Amino acid sequence: MTDTALHSNLFTTESGTKTHYTTSGNASGQLLITLHGLGGSSKTFEHLLPKLPLDRYRVIGVDLEGFGETPVTSKPASVARYVSDLDDLIAHLQRSSPETSASKPVAIIGHSLGSIVALHYTAKNPDHIAGLGLLGVGRSASHIEAARERMLGMASKARTEGMEPLAELAMTTNFPEDTPQDIRLEVRKAVASSDPEGYAKTCEAMACPRHVDPDYGRIMCPCVFVTGEKDMISPPCKAKEISGLLGGTSRVQIVKGGHQPILSDLDATAAALEWLFERI
């Protein structure tokens, strides 16, 4: 039975993160996890949800630490801990799934930061993942001094000035100039509602020298990259670079807009993901 309503749940991981997540779709279906980007939440995917094959999948919308309804912990943020928390959550979900779907590999759709977490998780657990949908894909820039300084500057601004300046900045950096104001305001609202400390800790995690790329060659599952033609944060060339490093089949789909393909070109984004669902 397909359930289109969103149901809220909480799960405490071994690291102590009180992870909030939503469930929808087929309660007996294969797991499909959505992972949002910096300043986002599980709500990032709300417009996309009706276009997903909810009859086949139990869709899990995760709020990463410090975003949405998942509170900040006292521990430093890191990609490794995001991956560990995700591993704990997936194990919990599989334990509570029917036998017919509990052992099936998981699909993940990640946006920006969420795509980084998805790639790291898959490189560590290649047999656990059926396929990846990577929107506005990111990779480590901790070795680039200008990028590190920018992220650390954003962390400092979040702590000293709050989220309003960063919400205004996101309206500019996430979209090309011709983007309608109502679309920009969706991102502004999301970033403005972020926890300043959670946002700052995530920026620091991205800038940390220990944040390096995973072994992309271990990723054998089908992957589709969805990249905005005018994405200033993660341009199409980045998706093409990572695609070429993977060990399995992948495809890069360029859509209209910038760093928010769900908002800028929903139909093309959904169509690109159909390619993935046909292969898993």
pLDDT digits (tens, 9 = 90+) for 38-64: 999 999 999 999 999 999 999 999 999
Domains detected in the chain: 2-141+211-277 (3.40.50.1820)
Which one is predicted more confidently, 104 or 154?
154
Q: What is the pTM of this model?
A: 0.96
- Average per-residue pLDDT in the chain? 96
Supply the pLDDT for residue 97.
Answer: 74
pLDDT for 255-275, tens place per residue? Answer: 999 999 999 999 999 999 999
Q: Who's near 207: CB < 8 A, 6+ residues apart? A: 142, 147, 148, 151, 152, 155
Q: Are 25 and 50 in contact (CB under 8 A)?
A: no
Count Cα atoms within 13 angstroms, Cβ side, for 220.
7
Q: Predicted confidence band at 1 (pLDDT cuts at 50, 70, 90)?
A: low
Question: What confidence tier does 157 reach under pLDDT thresholds 50, 70, 90?
Answer: very high
CA separation, residue 42 to residues 107, 138, 259, 276 (Å): 16, 18, 17, 21
Bridge partners for 224 per DSSP: 133, 251
Looking at 24-28, 101-105, 151-155, 276-280, which range is the least confident one? 101-105
Q: What confidence tens digit (pLDDT) does each residue in 195-228 have?
A: 999 999 999 999 999 999 999 999 999 999 999 9
**Across 91-95, 156-160, 238-242, 258-262, least confident range:** 91-95
